[in-house]
């Protein structure tokens, strides 16, 4: 997975140091082997780095992306029936 990310950085003309080692490790872990998820997480982290006006993506940027609701897994949110209050007993 890291080789895929580094290859994409090469393709974009960015240095391998664009992502810190810690950031790369978290991205690989969060992507769970899905290349599209890794790519999307990298792009979102790069956008966060621009917002933070930094040239290196670190844990701060990756964690900011992972905290967004659409990155949470289905099992991280309660099921609809768990959100409803139980009906009163009749």
Q: Would you state the pLDDT for residue 89?
A: 54
pTM summary value: 0.76
Minimal CA–CA distance to 48: which of 59, 37, 38?
Answer: 59
Q: Would you state the pLDDT for residue 65?
A: 94
pLDDT at 23 over 90: yes
47: helix, strand or coil: helix
Q: Would you state the pLDDT for residue 69?
A: 82
- The angle formed by the CA atoms of residues 39, 45 and 46, to the nearest 5 degrees, is 90
pLDDT per residue as tens digits for the range 29-79: 999 899 999 999 999 999 999 999 999 999 999 999 999 887 766 554 555
């Amino acid at each position: 997975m890291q080789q895929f990310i580094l290859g994409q950085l090469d393709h974009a003309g960015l240095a391998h140091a664009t992502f810190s080692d810690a950031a790369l490790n978290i991205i690989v872990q969060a992507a769970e082997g899905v290349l599209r998820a890794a790519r999307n997480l990298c792009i979102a982290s790069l956008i966060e780095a621009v917002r933070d006006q930094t040239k290196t993506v670190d844990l701060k940027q990756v964690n900011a992306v992972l905290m967004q609701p659409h990155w949470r897994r289905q099992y991280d949110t309660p099921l609809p029936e768990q959100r409803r209050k139980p009906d009163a007993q009749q």
